[in-house]
Amino acid sequence: MIFLAAILVFAVAMRPARARLLLARLGAVGIFAAAITSYFWLPFLRDQKYLQASPYLQSWKYDSYGAQKILAWLLGGDLIDHGRLPVLTFLLALGVAAAAARRTKVATMAIVLFAVWLLLYFGRVTWGPIADLIPMHEGMLFDRFVGAFEFAAILLIGIGGEWLWERFSSLRDPWRVAAPAALVVALMIPALVERYRLYAVNTRALERTRDALAADSDLAAIVKELKSLPHARVYAGLRTGWGGNFRVGLLHVYDVLTFNDLDVLEPPYQAISHNADLVFHFDDRNSAQYGLFDVKYVVAPPGTSMASFLKPILTTRHFVLYQTSTSGYGQLATQVASGFAGSRGQLFAGNLAWFRRGDFASGRFIAWAYRLDTGPIGGMIYPSGAGTGTVSDDLIEPDLIRLRVDTPAPAPLIIKTTYFPKWHLTIDGIPTRSFMASPSFIGVEVPAGKHIVQAEYESGALKKILLFAGAIALLCAFAFRRRFPAFDAALRRRAAR
């Protein structure tokens, strides 16, 4: 959005005689901005195929609402003044008229930004396949263009208010100025009251939740116990099931567990990964699914009917902590088939079909590749002993997983964390190749025998270089900030020649 806004401002300000000057200014600012932020946007663009666009997110977030609905809301006052007198909508209309009449650079810029963001806010409903021309369109939430649209609307509302002020300030009689000013203030009171009430509701909600957390010693005991147990994932229900009403104050219990740095099986905190949306299909009465996601602990309210394989290990007035056995963070597979990832939607559909079949219960996985000619080991035939060995957790940390593997025959090992190219795999200290296994976990082929398999997440040399270069660019911008006016003056002189 910032990049597009910069282009629009440049287009509005550009005149043929000043084109070189403005291009030089934009280039100088753009180079510094791109260098400072390159550690974020460049890896993001390079690795975006590993980021999921959720098929379960409301369609209007991806597609927006279309021109017909949005224009009806705008003209009817609902878009800017929903549930209130359309005072701001009136000022917006006044600002558009005043900006069109003045045609100053600021006014023109405000109208252009307003129009472009409004057109983008129309979304896929209006633009259809044309929207696919926008970079990173597949996961783009077009409804969020409303924020940029409202920012431009604020500029025009200010222009409308300025026009009114100029009309009033030209009156010589103070009482004639005071009367319309008082009217404007009175018309703004409903909006101010509505904002005050909203913030008051939020304040009360925060205070209520804070007090509930402070008074709930049971939950503190559960968290303390979980942190003392061997590392594994925790389940506290789904928001579509009994977990939706399992709360402390206004917070879901799984939210509180996540905020306490526990590894919880629950979106949306991991919704950007390819396997995150499978959580919505998690069956908390299916022991094989507990094993797939290494869910060893469950926190539930007393009286909730739980599966028989879950054994209570701590009971309080408001919570019961259960435990079950799993294979840990690693699992030996018996068979790995090849799969072509294709688009994000195709990859999720393939993983969902595999998950619903329950192939993981018998050790059957899919090795996904993004190119047909460079697939991983998928499709290989393994000896009959494959998958019959043992795997134990040796060390589990956020960026380091170390497993002890003992297998009588070569077999694929599935490490139950989201695959990403920055995970570096070693077997007995020797680097080895990994692949993306269903449902987008880390896969690696392990030879027969006893081995230490380690997966360590490293940001990579490129990101370190970009971060260092960005820091240098930021320091240079700060160090030479006093020379920028001289640089700008030099650009002006060259443009005047």
Q: What does the radius of gyration of the chain's CA atoms come to, in whole angstroms?
A: 29
Coil/strand/helix, residue 363: coil
Confidence of residue 487 (pLDDT cuts 50, 70, 90): low
pLDDT tens figures, 441-485: 999 999 999 999 999 998 878 888 888 888 998 888 888 777 767
Region 289-294: mean pLDDT is 95
| pLDDT 10s digits, 307-338 | 999 999 999 999 999 999 998 999 999 888 88
The structure tokens listed for 247 are 């709360």
Are 67 and 120 within 8 A, CB to CB? no
Average pLDDT in the 265-282 region?
81
Element (H, E) at 38: helix 19-46
Q: How far apart are CA 314 and CA 223, in angstroms?
A: 11
Q: Tell me if residue 402 falls in helix, strand or coil.
A: strand
For residue 339, count other CB atoms closer than 10 A to its CB.
23
Position 134 confidence tier, pLDDT thresholds 50, 70, 90: confident
Q: Is the pLDDT of residue 197 over 50?
A: yes
**Lowest mean pLDDT across 256-270, 401-415, 435-449:** 256-270
- 342 forms beta bridges with none
pLDDT over 90, % of the chain: 46
Q: What is the DSSP letter of 276?
A: G
Tell me, what's the pLDDT at 376?
47
d(CA 220, CA 231): 18
**For 11-59, how does the pLDDT look when each residue is reduced to its tens digit (9 = 90+)?**
665 666 566 666 776 777 778 888 888 888 888 888 888 888 788 888 8
Checking if the pLDDT of 7 tops 70, the result is no
* pLDDT greater than 70 at residue 91: yes
Look at 2-11, 218-227, 257-266, 371-380 and tell me which has the smallest mean pLDDT.
Answer: 371-380
pLDDT score for 235: 96
**What do you get for the CA distance between the two ends of the chain, in Å?**
35
pLDDT of residue 477: 80
* Helical segments of 229-381, H only: 253-259, 287-292, 344-357
* 184-203 average pLDDT score: 87
The answer to whether residue 229 scores a pLDDT higher than 90 is yes
* pLDDT exceeds 70 at position 438: yes
Q: Which range has the worst mean pLDDT, 200-204, 242-246, 485-489?
A: 485-489
Q: Is the pLDDT reported for residue 378 higher than 50?
A: no
Query: Mean pLDDT, to the nearest integer, of 358-372?
Result: 86
Sign of the Cα pseudo-torsion (53, 294, 351, 386, in order): positive
pLDDT at 6 over 70: no
Q: State the pLDDT at residue 89.
A: 93
| Higher pLDDT among residues 381 and 175, named by residue | 175
- Mean predicted lDDT score pLDDT of the chain: 86
How high is the pLDDT of residue 375?
47
Q: 180 vs 157, 168, 193, 365, CA distance in Å?
A: 17, 7, 20, 73
Segments in 82-216 forming alpha helices (H) = 87-102, 105-122, 124-127, 145-169, 174-215
- pLDDT value at position 246? 93
- Specify the residue for token string 């270069």: 469
Evaluate if residue 496 carries a pLDDT over 60: no
Q: What is the mean pLDDT of residues 170-190?
A: 74
